Structure 1
Amino acid sequence: MANSLKNAQFLMESRLSNAAGATAEACFELGVAYSCGTGDLSVDLIEAHKWFNLAALKGSEEGQAMRAEIAGEMSAREIAEAQRQARAVIAMTQLRAA
């Protein structure tokens, strides 16, 4: 069980690191990880929506489709929070680039 948790944490850290590089694929993979749960991690639809949204903004059609799919399972408040978090990631990325 502990090994599974370590593997899941490593996977998430590597995906977060790749997502910081702002590729659509890395963002999509994070969305999948959060929408399905990875290892012992809990499903988090707000995080999933955020990452699918970022993937979609980078041109991922899969990101668009998955964002729409999970939005059907979320409240308007949850979607608004996911969008707020996505905007924060975009703003942070723009600050780093400047």
Structure 2
Amino acid sequence: MARMEMSAIPASLALPPEASAEACCELGLLHASGRAGAVDLVKAQTWFNIAFASGSARAAAHRRELALEMSRDEVAAALREARSYLTRY
């Protein structure tokens, strides 16, 4: 499989179901840092949740840290989005 730089992929694109946990974690970092446009903590947390569910230990640390900066409603929204994504694929 070809390896590509995550920063070259627009974060608005949906990842294919076979995307790695680390690719999902990278999307979370893009949204958390603002490298994908405006900082979006809910989208970042969503991708960290998906990556964590796919086995990324690195995503677990990021989502724990990010949750401290988010409201309960934002964390809940990110969980709903991740669950929705995971049940589609």
Please name the residue that 1:82 is paired with: 78
State which structure, 1 or 2, has the greater radius of gyration over its C-alpha atoms.
Answer: 1
Give, as a single letter, the amino acid of the residue that structure 2 aligns with 1:91.
Answer: T
Name the % identity.
40
User: Please, which of 24, 27, 47 is the counterpart of residue 30 of structure 1?
Assistant: 27
Tell me the equivalent position of 1:67.
Answer: 63
Taking structure 2 as the reference length, what is the TM-score of the superposition?
Answer: 0.82
Structure 2: runs of 5 or more not aligned: 1-6
User: 2:39 is aligned with what amino acid?
Assistant: V
TM-score normalized by the length of structure 1 = 0.75
d(CA) in 1 for partners of 2:51, 2:26: 9
RMSD across aligned positions (CA): 1.9
Q: Which runs of 5+ in 1 are unaligned?
A: 1-7, 94-98
Three-state SS of the structure 1 residue aligned to 2:45 is helix
Amino acid in structure 1 at the alignment position of 2:79: Q
Could you tell me how far apart the structure 2 residues matched to 1:54 and 1:81 are?
13
CA shift for structure 1 position 11: 2.3
Task: Specify the code of the residue in structure 2 equivalent to 1:11.
Answer: I
Q: Following TM superposition, where does structure 1 have runs of at least 4 consecutive aligned residues deviating by more than 3 angstroms? A: none
- In the alignment, the residues of structure 2 paired with residue 32 and residue 77 of structure 1 have an alpha-carbon distance, to the nearest angstrom, of 20
**SS at 2:49 equivalent:** helix
How many correspondences in the alignment? Answer: 82
Distance 1:59 1:53, change over 3 A: same
8 Å contact from structure 1 (residues 12, 30) kept in 2: no
In structure 1, the partner of 2:40 is 44
